[in-house]
Structure 1
């Protein structure tokens, strides 16, 4: 080897020896591309944990009328939602009832952080949590006014309990308690004139009161133009999802990451719930560094998870402003969704459709935990004073569309968490999340997870019955061993069988030899000659 080559080799070895320790020391979140993309967040900064002030972070005013019935009354939906049948929820509920001797999810509290929850006769276990949008205008306790209709439908999927035997729909955990927090609304906007009453609004051409915009049918509300009210189809007073669901920090609406962080911290600190469902998201381009609001939410969910609370979040819906993560390298996402981004403490839920495939609007990402039904939704009618169900929403003029979105997949998982909590009361929050993940219908991917459905579609029956190797001590009961009902073993001597098989084999060999000999003799025998011809 020449001197030059030896010198080059030595330099290369020296360079590798110096750089390798540095490469190992750099955490995964810091290994970003030059574009600033990253798949996982930086470590939690608990100095960003903020106190719960239990009030809106700014002044808001109502800008649109509240959701109302549009198709009349006394319409009974007798069919069960496909998702209810797909997940075999009736079996899961029977398992819990038999194990606890009580109802399905009884004694478990689920916080719904959303647009509020309207009182409904089929939602008997409903409690006030708080209001971070505006003081209620209808003499309701804080959090029990839902102008948008979104939170009521979410709560219905978790814990609705119809008293009509003809109704097929029922919540996942119908005996659980819902604690409602109104954290955002697309029917409210920042009030720049705090000393003046809200401006007049109209619904269907009818003049409104100067202090309280009237309620109107969903189909009669005009689209919002300008003023930060959002844009695109579906940006009206409806709980639909075609415009991306309920987005935090959206211009011209109420709801910020700051108040979300406050609510999560407050729930954990005061012990107000066992499970938190957040069908609300903040979606942004995956560039730059983590924002202050994201840090506040990250600290809050970590604080709550350490307190033993299960935290469920919708994975998010792909829209023009929230692009789908369909890039070749999944570790360099185009879009980041909060709170799902904080997967160490949050179980995020993607959506499937009635074919069992991934719903096209469900945002992909390394943080997706599990999946659940998110299309053709049936739930409680969110209109004030209603006593029925809804399976359609009016988002653009008189155009009716099905209710869908990851917002409605998340409560299926929150309801399952309530059932697991009821059956396994000694499991903490992380244990419940682990049980849901491990018993999901894993996709055919390395490690049993992918970026579309995470660890797979939830399996409620398995989550309530499986014995997991990861659980130790008294965290989950171990089923007793069942005696196998098999016929007695045959302990007779095998010698006769061996002799018989050997004799049969010998006979076959002798027969083959005989056939071979006869064939050889016939082939070698001289051919007979016939009489000579004349």
Structure 2
């Protein structure tokens, strides 16, 4: 069964968020935890070619890019991460970050790009990016630093590996036969090719894998290959970072926690799965925050959320040139910014690369724990939109991390009787009383002295008969 994917940029941004084929949403009443992994379900990563013939229709033009963001001004997201300080500890040296996406275009600020394969076009190496999405993602991870430019990737010394496994501009060969010329292509990519791309990235030496695309629906038995591929990655000491998904494509709102049933299993309140995000034993699932640190309105909530990162109004690399970009036009000519959990995810992948370079002795699971343990936690400790909180590069590179993570549930409210304060001792007024008495005596003495200062006068009269 072929399962459609969504690329999780905001729909107006790139036109990449619509379903790539078969609709989802049918199945059981609620989502379930992923089943036990069946290692036999793991696909091969070779050959890196589409499993069937594909085509790019004549009317499928590559996305137009909105350039901008160049110059010395540091983008808001980058400034909030304090990367200049983080780079004193690590710049991601020696790390290879696989971008499983729409391809990554060759760009002067992505030196030594590893073209690792193409599951979309019969003849391709992963460096065609007609959608623009994959290049945006790669730039946020590892765009090199250059003088006079404020923008750079989170891990500017890391190297990008590109594997194209989905595109809105392609479709199965012959799909246009029953369409009118103005119809948009169906898009191409599914969970099977994603799983193969994960295995291929691991086998080719990636240390970090970024997946900024999702499948979402209520079915629970469609992603066994993904689970097997993700388990394989962790066993081979590779950290996988995946997007939480956007509400424009994953339209069902997961309740996760019901205030009327606060002790219920959060998975029982989850009606929609997001893959690969739901495999949270094997991935870091990433939500988005805005410039003020608040959860982005488009993040799909779920019990699998690990951390969050800036994901709105980003600056990245231009897939059509050598400069930077701030947005794109979709196939309908609508312009939008680079926003979505797609673009929060590479921020976390970049931080993972920084940590792996600074602490090469840490295993993939230890790196995942460090990223979550050092995040800026929300008041309740964990929540369904940002997980354990906003990723903090400085803390991830410098803090001491010990002990296990708390469970992925908000800290429950507690009722506690405050101690009744003891009755205060009676006031000691002796000093005041002595002062008042002394003052009264002095005042009385002064008054008597004042009165005594007046002469006592007698009036003597003369009687008439004494004359």
* TM-score by shorter chain over 0.5: yes
Alignment correspondent of 2:134: 151
**Alpha carbons 2:54, 2:122 under 8 Å: kept:** no
SS at match of 2:387: coil
1:59 aligns with 2:62: no
Alignment correspondent of 1:307: 236
SS at match of 2:87: helix
Q: What is the rounded CA distance, in whole Å, between the counterparts of 2:69 and 2:384 in structure 1?
A: 40
30, 39, 60: which one aligns with 1:37: 30
Alignment correspondent of 1:280: 213
Give the drift of 1:514.
7.2
C-alpha RMSD over aligned residues = 3.0
Matches within 5 A, 1:283-298: 283-284=216-217, 286=218, 288-291=219-222, 294-298=223-227
Q: What is the rounded CA distance, in whole Å, between the counterparts of 1:438 and 1:67 in structure 2?
A: 41
Deviations 1:456-494 (A, max 9, x none): 0000000000011239xxxxxxxxxxxxxxxxxxxxxxx
Q: Return 42-51 or 415-424, whichever deviates more.
A: 42-51
Q: What is the rounded CA distance, in whole Å, between the counterparts of 1:109 and 1:374 in structure 2?
A: 22
Q: What is the rounded CA distance, in whole Å, between the counterparts of 1:347 and 1:223 in structure 2?
A: 40
Residues 510 and 93 of structure 1: is their aligned pair in 2 closer, same or farther, counting only changes over 3 Å?
closer
Residues 320 and 109 of structure 1: is their aligned pair in 2 closer, same or farther, counting only changes over 3 Å?
closer
| Bigger helix share | 1
Greater Rg, structure 1 or structure 2?
2
Deviations 1:211-240 (A, max 9, x none): xxxxxxxxxxx9745xxx3xxxxxxxxxxx
354, 379, 397: which one aligns with 1:444: 379
Give the drift of 1:396.
5.9
Alignment correspondent of 1:496: none
1:470 aligns with 2:397: no
Give the drift of 1:80.
1.9
Q: Return 48-57 or 430-439, whichever deviates more.
A: 48-57
Structure 1 unaligned segments of length 5 or more: list them: 1-33, 97-103, 203-221, 230-251, 472-505, 523-534
Deviations 1:275-305 (A, max 9, x none): 0000111111x2x5322xx011011101111
What is the total number of aligned residue pairs between the two structures? Answer: 383
Residues 89 and 46 of structure 1: is their aligned pair in 2 closer, same or farther, counting only changes over 3 Å?
same
**Alpha carbons 2:95, 2:356 under 8 Å: kept:** yes
Give the drift of 1:76.
3.8
512, 517, 524: which one aligns with 2:433: 512
Give the drift of 1:82.
0.9
**Alpha carbons 1:125, 1:176 under 8 Å: kept:** no
Residues 440 and 154 of structure 1: is their aligned pair in 2 closer, same or farther, counting only changes over 3 Å?
same
Residues 347 and 75 of structure 1: is their aligned pair in 2 closer, same or farther, counting only changes over 3 Å?
closer
136, 154, 166: which one aligns with 1:184: 166
Give the drift of 1:451.
0.6
Alignment correspondent of 2:261: none
Deviations 1:414-458 (A, max 9, x none): 00000001100101111111110000000111xx21111000000
Structure 2 unaligned segments of length 5 or more: list them: 1-26, 259-265, 405-427, 444-467
Residues 71 and 367 of structure 1: is their aligned pair in 2 closer, same or farther, counting only changes over 3 Å?
closer
**Alpha carbons 2:31, 2:220 under 8 Å: kept:** no
Q: What is the rounded CA distance, in whole Å, between the counterparts of 1:343 and 1:170 in structure 2?
A: 29
- TM-score, with structure 2 as normaliser: 0.75
Q: What is the rounded CA distance, in whole Å, between the counterparts of 1:342 and 1:372 in structure 2?
A: 19
1:358 aligns with 2:295: yes
Give the drift of 1:65.
4.0
Residues 320 and 297 of structure 1: is their aligned pair in 2 closer, same or farther, counting only changes over 3 Å?
closer
- With a CA cutoff of 8 Å and minimum separation of 6, indicate the structure with the bigger relative contact order: 2
Deviations 1:94-131 (A, max 9, x none): 222xxxxxxx1111111111111100111113111111
- TM-score, with structure 1 as normaliser: 0.66
99, 102, 113: which one aligns with 2:100: 113
1:175 aligns with 2:152: no
179, 190, 199: which one aligns with 1:256: 190
1:267 aligns with 2:196: no
353, 366, 380: which one aligns with 1:431: 366
Alignment correspondent of 2:409: none
**Alpha carbons 2:66, 2:327 under 8 Å: kept:** no
Q: Return 417-426 or 387-396, whichever deviates more.
A: 387-396
**Alpha carbons 2:63, 2:328 under 8 Å: kept:** no
Give the drift of 1:517.
9.9
Matches within 5 A, 1:15-94: 36-54=29-47, 55-63=49-57, 64-67=59-62, 76-94=70-88
296, 303, 328: which one aligns with 1:393: 328
SS at match of 2:89: helix
